[in-house]
Amino acid sequence: MKKALKIVGIIIGLLLVLIILAPILFKGPIEKAVKNSINKSINATVEWEELDLSLISSFPNAELKLKNLSVINKAPFKNDTLATSEELGLSLGIPQLFKGGPYSINELTLNNAYVNIKVDSLGNANYDIAKETTTDTTTTQANNAGNALSLDIQHYEVNNSRINYLDESSKTFLRITNFNHYGNGDFTAEKTNLETKTEAIVSFELDSVNYLNKNNLKLDANFEMDLANQKYTFLENKALINQLPLTFDGFVKINENNQEIDLTFKTPSSDFKNFLAVIPETYSKNLDGVETTGDFTVNGEIKGIVDEKHIPTMNIAIKSDNASFKYPDLPKKVEDISIDAVLKNKTGILEDTYVNLEKLNFKIDQDRFTAKGNFKNLMDNPLINLTANGTLNLANLEKAYPLELDMDLNGILNANLTANFDMNSIEKEQYQNVKSSGHASISNFKYSSPEIPNEVNIAKASLNFNNAKVTLEEMDIKSGQTDAKITGTLDNFMGYLFSDQVLKGRFKVQSNTFSVNDFMVAETKENQPLENNKDKTSTPTKEDAIKIPSFLDAKLDFSANTVIYDNLTLKNTKGALSIKDETASLENVSADIFGGNIGINGNVSTKTETPVFDMQLSLNRIDIVESFQKLELIQNIAPLANALQGLLTTKIKLNGNLTNELTPILTSLAGSAFAEVLNAKVNTEKTPLLSKLNGELNFLNLNKLVLKDLSTNLTFNNGQIQVDPFNFNIEDINITAGGSHSFDNQMNYSLKLDIPAKYLGDKIGSGLANLTKTDIQSTKVELPIGLSGTFASPKIQLNMKQAVSDLTQQIVEKQKDELKDKAKEEVGKKLKDLLGGKGKENAKDSTATKENKSDEDKIKEAAGDILNGLFGKKKKK
């Protein structure tokens, strides 16, 4: 007994050793066999980061796992990813390991996979990677049968994966996410039954039309698979699309040149709750407790051949009669529901597919709505014929159906419309082929939103349809202080609705009071850093950029008695606003403001990443004080205007960049301006610069300055304002000014003052008159003054050296003229003495020169004393 137990123990120990050593012993041959099989079978690059082999986790089978698997295409989809997977698990019998092959896979598991299927416009498919089988290939495979890898699947599963399918030739796009699927069946038999279970979220788009959008799909289906004839027959199955149950019967057969389809499907019950189940659960919400009456059925038949020229014939009917529903938490009931629609194709030619909507009726309270129509030639040039008629109290929609909207529905909608058109005519704007008629109106409509501060009230809006043109017959709107009456036309309303065209139109807007502030929300700052807390950081809030609508091509002719914008009030405003290609253009806008008037032309564009503008402003005879207080532009262009009281006329041309809130970025401004002060007085106390300048110059009283017809030109560039030199007088003192300043008020200006000598007073007699012996009262002194710093904290530089030099030079020149006259007199006298025999020597010339040089030094000293006295400085003795 002990010996037997010992033998059993040894056997078990050897088995454990083999189980432990097997992954090491057999990993290499199995990985080689997998690679050989893949390379011989497909034309793609297949790689994985790691291969694991285990005999314990899946005992009595061996489990092979490929980690981070990828399949990369070769031409014509070179370097495109066909598939990736975090893990591919393969299961095979342990005895195969000891035989050295062939290796037969009986189970397959794919986890977290991504499959990207693509068919290009020429019909090339990226999944077509199987190598063609030739005689040489078959011989090679036979010779290597000892270590070959084959698929004898009995069970497979795909977990938490996603699939994309794009067919550019047919404009088909299918996206499957959260894909979980498993199947059980014997794929080694010619005939077998396959049991499957599938769950997924499906989106489907055909020719830019979205038919499914994240719809839940569940399918429990059993198939009879005739692998020899490639015929797959539905046996027992149940599908759930969103919450709509369907059952299938029929088969799919793959032939050499086509596919043969014969399928029927239907709803297993006729409860109207089936209709609500078609709607995605996000919108229909939980159907538990919903009361329904009436029926709803879906019956479909798809039968025929699928090849390059044909599709199956089809007849899919949807019907409901005298139905109703009511959600348990909502007060209103939708009733008298009738639906009769069919999707048909009788020929198997794609272009012959059509939809008939024979009837769509429903009622909420006493409001009834009906619609009918048909859609033909769906795949080429769709022909559309629609009729809608009814009245709806929009507020009742939310009371009868669980809508989640950003706004409260309200108002009464009336519609009686008929439209008949083809899509080619809409896309080519051949509106003579469009036939539409009818009328639609909405009344007592109210709209409120966090994006606007006041509720918008539309008393009535009425539209009249006449072929392609839609006339806005009336629209009365009020919000806050604003009132407006709007009329106009929409030239391509059908193109906007059905063909993604821009909306074209022209409107006339009349208003007694239009307050722009009624449609603007005060800016709030979030995530501001806390004071005295260096550990706290803030993330700047990303501002939503204001965008001019790209779908509009419209022009508005407007007039308003009063327009209120921020702190500005404009009277008798009129002009035109054009919106096109994300650009808003103001044309011939005029208004009364600041006691004068303003004219505006220009545009604002948000088409580029950074918004831009280009404007021409004309301000005529405006009050300087009021305009300075209310216009930031005037404050930046002419800071000294704060000290003026009078009238101003200016023409400004500006262009530059805008912020996301469409306010100018000052440093980006470029342009020019012409400014003219018509008549203005100066109050030096209003600005530090003039106050300081008035104190520095004792002989100058700026408070007596009256500016009249003063004009100059300005230019803007790189954040600088350049002012051309201009002249003005204070009594008989002429002043020339010019220079530049920046938008942060850093200035660089120069003044030149021509000061008459009479302002020198008694100093002329005591200091200079005895030297010049001329009427110095006609002399003027040029005094240069430099201005720097800021307008709030100015720096004044008096160029005394140049002023002294100028005064001295004038006096010296006059004295030289007097000396020349004196010299001539002396020379004449000398000649007369010589002719008279008098030979006395005369050394007066050298003496006069010495005296002249001495006098010039004395003049400079005296001129300096005089000018220093003018500016309140202590005179030298």
The predicted structure's pLDDT at residue 119? 87
Helix ranges, 272-389 (H):
273-278, 281-284
Mean pLDDT of the chain: 77
95 pLDDT band, cuts 50/70/90, is: low
- pLDDT value of position 445: 86
pLDDT at residue 530 in the model: 35
Cis peptide before 312 (omega within 30 of 0): no
What DSSP designation does 366 have?
T
Identify the DSSP state of 546.
P
pLDDT greater than 50 at residue 332? yes
- Residue 159 above 90 pLDDT? yes
How confident is the model over 391-440, as pLDDT tens digits? 888 888 888 888 776 667 788 889 898 888 777 777 777 766 778 788 88
Q: How far is 679 from 651, CA to CA, in rounded Å? A: 17
Query: Could you tell me which of 35, 37, 36, 87 has the C-alpha nearest to residue 64?
Result: 87
For the ranges 122-131, 159-168, 662-671, the one whose mean pLDDT is highest: 159-168
Task: Give the integer Cα–Cα distance in Å for 646 and 731.
Answer: 19
Q: What is the reported pLDDT for 744?
A: 80
CB atoms within 10 A of CB 554: 19
Q: Residues with Cβ < 8 Å from 343, sequence gap 6 or more? A: 314, 315, 316, 353, 354, 355
List pLDDT tens digits, range 639-648: 877 777 888 8
Q: What average pLDDT does the segment 733-755 reach?
A: 84
Residue 176 pLDDT grade (very low, low, confident, very high; cuts 50, 70, 90): very high
Mean predicted confidence (pLDDT) in 514-520: 73
Which residues of 227-312 form beta strands (DSSP E)? 231-241, 244-254, 259-266, 291-293, 297-306
Q: Are 355 and 334 in contact (CB under 8 A)?
A: no
Rounded Cα distance between 669 and 655, Å, is 6
Predicted confidence band at 833 (pLDDT cuts at 50, 70, 90)? low
Residue 532, pLDDT > 70, answer: no
Q: Is the pLDDT of residue 15 over 50?
A: no
Contact in structure between 706 and 680 (CB atoms under 8 Å): yes
Determine phi and psi for 684, rounding to 5 degrees.
Answer: -65, -20
Banded pLDDT at 10 (limits 50, 70, 90): very low
Cis peptide before 102 (omega within 30 of 0): yes
pLDDT for 528 equals: 41
Cβ–Cβ < 8 Å for 564, 520: no
Q: Is the pLDDT of residue 596 over 50?
A: yes
pLDDT at 370: 93
Query: What confidence score (pLDDT) does residue 565 get?
Result: 77
Whole-angstrom CA distances from 636 to 227, 330, 447, 666 are: 85, 59, 39, 9
Q: Which of 21-30, 464-473, 665-674, 825-834 is the most confident on average?
A: 665-674
What's residue 523's pLDDT? 44
* Of the candidate ranges 55-59, 480-484, 695-699, 740-744, the one whose mean pLDDT is the lowest: 55-59
55: pLDDT strictly greater than 70:
no
Least reliable range by pLDDT among 225-234, 503-512, 773-782: 773-782
74: pLDDT strictly greater than 70: yes
pLDDT bucket at 227, cuts 50 / 70 / 90: confident
Q: Map residue 481 onto helix, strand or coil.
A: coil
Structure tokens at 795: 């720096």
**pLDDT the model gives residue 817:** 62
**Residue % of the chain over a pLDDT of 70:** 73
What's the confidence (pLDDT) of residue 531? 38
pLDDT of 342 above 90: yes
For the beta carbon of residue 764, count every other beta carbon within 10 angstroms: 19
Helix, strand or coil, per DSSP, at residue 162: strand
pLDDT band at residue 561, thresholds of 50, 70 and 90? very high
- The pLDDT value given to residue 29: 66
CA atoms in the 13 A half-sphere facing the CB of 272: 19
pTM of full prediction above 0.85: no
Looking at per-residue pLDDT, the higher value among 280 and 663 belongs to 663
Place of tokens 């580029």: 608
As a whole number of angstroms, the distance between CA 321 and CA 316 comes to 17
Pairing of strands 412-422, 435-447: antiparallel
Which residues share a beta bridge with 620? 597
* Closest C-alpha to 791, from 649, 675, 636, 674: 636
pLDDT, position 6: 45
Highest mean pLDDT out of 311-315, 496-500, 714-718: 311-315
Identify whether the C-beta of residue 436 lies closer than 8 Å to the C-beta of residue 446. no
Mean pLDDT over 761-782 rounds to 53
**249 beta partners:** 264
Strands (E) located in 516-611: 552-565, 568-580, 583-593, 596-605
Per-residue model confidence (pLDDT) at position 869: 55
768-794 burial code (b ≥16 CB/10 A, e <16): beebbeeebeebbbbbbbebebbbeeb
% of the chain exceeding 90 in pLDDT: 12
Residue 136 structure tokens = 């040489």
304 and 311 Cβ atoms separated by less than 8 Å: yes
Beta carbons of 374 and 341 less than 8 angstroms apart: no
HSE-CB of 73 using CA atoms within 13 angstroms: 20
Segment 80-87 mean pLDDT: 90
Q: For residue 838, give the DSSP letter.
A: -
**Would you call 456 exposed, middle or buried from its count of C-beta atoms within 10 A (0-12, 13-18, 19+)?**
middle
Q: What pLDDT, on a 0 to 100 scale, did the predictor assign at position 834?
A: 47
Q: Comparing 216-225, 771-780, 804-813, which segment has the lowest mean pLDDT?
A: 771-780
Spatial neighbors of 661 by CB under 8 A, at least 6 apart, are 523, 543, 546
The pLDDT value recorded for residue 762 is: 47
pLDDT confidence of 590, banded at 50, 70, 90? Answer: very high
d(CA 298, CA 271): 11
Q: Above 80 in pLDDT, residue 505?
A: yes
Please report the pLDDT score of residue 868 as a whole number.
Answer: 60
Using CA atoms, how far apart are residues 45 and 810, in angstroms rounded to an integer?
97
Mean per-residue pLDDT for 704-728? 83
